[in-house]
A and B are shown apart, each in its own frame.
Chain A
Amino acid sequence: MGFAIRADQDRDDNVGDSQPQNLVLLTPLKSLPRTTASAQAAANMPLESPATIPDKTPQAPAEVRQLPKAPKLPLGLKLLVGVQQGSTVLTGGLVATALVIYSWTVYLDKTVARSFQHLESLKVSTQQVTTANETLKHSMAQQAESPASGFRPFEPKRAIFVSPAPARSLAKPGLKPQGQAPMPHPLGY
């Protein structure tokens, strides 16, 4: 029985070293004893595939036999696997981006609608203010027109016409600043 344990341990080591593919080829993973504590229990149980255990004699030192290597995948297949993995990543990325963009458009739509309503209400207020302003102007003008208001229409004899001064040549800027400007007062510290 001890050998069996050993063989198991041995195989355990091999499992640790080997590729996952090899592991699959040897035996289903669930049947492998994981810890030494459970090794005893495992020893009591018959192995599911005893045929896979190499025929080791108790006397002979453990002969390490090369585990059958996974058959090498053809290049085309490898390429396809690569493409599949790459496209999976790409798809994931695209789906995530699409979700982000979609939510962004929804958010944007809502924001635009809100701002648009705000703008519309502002325009309505502008109309109101304009209307009120013009109505006020008109009524003021009407009041001013009544003779009692004391306003009089434009007449040239009550107007002052100032003819525009002849255009002056542009003042020439000082050629140089006169050095350090004299300080009128000492600077306080």
Chain B
Amino acid sequence: MVTPRSIPSPNRASRRSRYLSSPRFRLVTVWSCMVLAMMGLSVRLAVLQLVAGSELKAQAEGQRQNLPQVPRASRRPIIDRQGNVLAVDRVVYTIYAHPMLFNSSREEMAETLAGVLGQSQENLLARFQAQETGIQVAVDVSEELAERMRGMQLDGLELLPSQQRFYPQQALMSQLVGYINLEGEPQAGLEYALQNKLLYELNDAPLPNHALQQLPKRDGIRLQLTVDSRLQRIVQRNLEATVRQHGAKRGALIVMDSRDGAVLSLAVAPTYDPNRYYEADVEQFKNWAVSDLYEPGSTFKPINVAIALEAGAIGPDDYIYDEGNLQYDQWTIQNADYKAVGGRGSITITDILRHSSNVGMVHIMEQLKRSHYYDWLEKLGLGQTTGIELPAESPAQLKSRPQFVNNAVEAATTSFGQGFSLTPMQQVQLHGALANGGKLVPPHVVRGLVDQEDNLIWQPERPPEKTVFSSDNTKAVLRMMEEVVDTGSGKPAQVANYRVAGKTGTAQKANEYGKYGDGRIVSFVGIVPVENPRYVVLAVIDEPLGEDAYGSTVTAPLVKSVIESLVVMAGVPPSPPEN
């Protein structure tokens, strides 16, 4: 019996199965599945690209940074004025030996390697037998030698390249250029001060294996200095000879072109070889010509005379009374030659410079109000740095304004170059203003970044030039300084057929207790040629030994020898005979 209710049931089931099996239904199902899948993929793509994109990119960058890349950062070469290379990167190799991988006996390998590397065969063999792998055989192996070893097809040797900074001029420019340590970090000099400019930019390198690697973009740009290495060589040699001869602690010599402040030579002794910096004394890593202060002594007198002339306190032909000895409270100021000569009486300003009279200078500067005098010293940049590119430059030290203005002795000592201190570099800058007609030009050792065609593409920012003296007054001061060389204490600096202006300086050094001790610092500043003043040469020798160690005996001959080479190199013709 079939129940009536059971009749519609197979009917409905068959309709449903027909519907399910219809091609249209299957088509729609497959189609919607595909559309859903595509939509899903699109949404995922959008999420990856738009929402999480930056995060993922950062993550990828992070992973890439972790990979060891270039062993050491590579830097741009440094060249001098003529294009001689002062610092350049080179590839050196560290050689590791893995005796377990040798294809010949260890004895043979030791023999071969000893021949190539110049090491003892027994020593190598002992090390090969002691360890199976990872023996450091040699460091800093040159590219040529590494190439030779590669050509020998020896198994079990590993050559790891790395960048190393090489200084072909060795000790010649170390205080200027500085050095890069074994970890590849700049430590001193311009390498340190301009490290960002010296580093090559990294860019993605097109490598065949599609590995993401960034390599330095060697763009042929170099850092050019204003220094002339030929002159530097002569200066360095003469300076070292002088320091050695007088048993001095140290010395510095600066040659500057006063027209634009370009330093042609900056030599410091003692110096060190930046290729072997680890053997040097830490004290030598700084360039004391810019980082250490000294009391300039008498070499500052021409600057004071220029201030007094410019301020109208004196005229160039005035006479000043020099009694040879002055008393300021408990302080006695006297001329260096007071015991021998006594007071000189009424003398000209030229004579004051010629005999380096301290008392005369005190009287000149007394004509100027002390606060006014202090304004002038500030205007000349004392208390500030010169802005030279070298690192760790010290600002000149000047007494505070109240101390200076209220104590007559402060202004008195300043008038003959004691009681304040500045760097040799700043002293050169001040004398540069005398040479170039009154402009305070920023001294600099860096010309800038130059490309392969020698076009300047970057220049360090420099403080603006500042006119401080009139050219008439600087000419008057130069004539006085010329007298110093012609007939005064600067005679040893005379150069035949050239008009040289100069001033000696011998200052007592303050010891660690703040008192003047036996130590002295002697200096000489020369300006050449007087008829067309351009070059300033300053030599400073710290603590020369011997009783007769003065600016005139130690530094003046040194400056003379430098000027002789300088005029030939710079093509300065002999001065026309004076009428």
A131, A137, A138, A145: which contacts B237 (Cβ < 8 A)?
Answer: A145
Task: Evaluate whether A154 and B90 lie within 8 angstroms (CB atoms) in the complex, with A113-B207, A130-B77 already known.
Answer: no
Q: Within the complex, what minimum Cβ distance (angstroms) separates B452 from chain A?
A: 11
- B186-238 contacts to A (CB < 8 Å): 205-208, 215, 218, 233-234, 237
**How far does the alpha carbon of A141 sit from the alpha carbon of B82 in the complex, in Å?**
15
| Nearest-CB residue, chain B, relative to A145 | B237
By size class, the interface of chain B is 35 or more
Could you say which residues of chain B place their CB within 8 Å of the CB of A159?
568
Bound CA span A145–B568, Å = 17
A126: shortest Cβ distance to chain B, in Å? 9
* A113 in contact with B208 (CB, 8 Å): yes
Instruction: Tell me whether B170 and A156 are in contact (CB under 8 A).
Output: no
B208 CB to closest chain A CB (Å) equals 4
The answer to whether B144 has its CB under 8 Å from any CB of chain A is yes
Most chain B CB inside 10 Å of its own CB: which residue of A120, A145, A154, A155: A154
Shortest distance in angstroms between A102's beta carbon and chain B's nearest beta carbon?
15
The answer to whether B561 touches A153 (Cβ under 8 A) is yes
A114 and B143 contact, CB distance less than 8 A: no
What chain A residues lie within 8 Å of B84 (beta carbons)? 134, 137
CB of A3 within 8 Å of the partner chain: no
| Contacting pair A134 B218 (CB below 8 A) | no
B88 within 8 A of A: yes
Contact between chains at A157 and B496 (CB < 8 Å): yes
Instruction: Tell me whether B88 and A127 are in contact (CB under 8 A).
Output: yes
How many inter-chain residue pairs (CB < 8 Å) link A and B? Answer: 75
Also in contact, A130 and B206, with CB within 8 A (given A120-B215, A123-B218, A138-B169): no
Contact among A112, A113, A154 with B234 in the assembled complex (CB-CB below 8 Å): A154
Residues 154-194 (chain B) with a chain A CB within 8 angstroms: 166, 168-170, 172
Contact of A124 among B143, B234, B565 (CB under 8 A): B143
User: Are the C-beta atoms of B564 and A124 separated by less than 8 Å?
Assistant: no
Residues of B within 8 A of A (CB): 77, 84-85, 88-91, 143-144, 166, 168-170, 172, 205-208, 215, 218, 233-234, 237, 495-498, 561, 564-565, 567-569, 571, 573-574
A-B contact pairs, 13 of them (CB 8 A): A120-B215, A130-B77, A131-B85, A131-B166, A131-B168, A135-B168, A137-B168, A138-B170, A138-B172, A154-B569, A155-B564, A155-B568, A163-B573
Chain A residues close to B by CB (< 8 Å): 109-110, 112-114, 116-117, 120, 123-124, 127-128, 130-131, 133-135, 137-138, 141, 145, 153-157, 159, 161, 163
- Beyond contacts A128-B144, A141-B233, A161-B574: 12 other A-B pairs, Cβ-Cβ < 8 A, are A113-B208, A124-B143, A128-B90, A128-B91, A131-B166, A134-B169, A138-B169, A154-B565, A155-B564, A156-B496, A156-B497, A156-B498
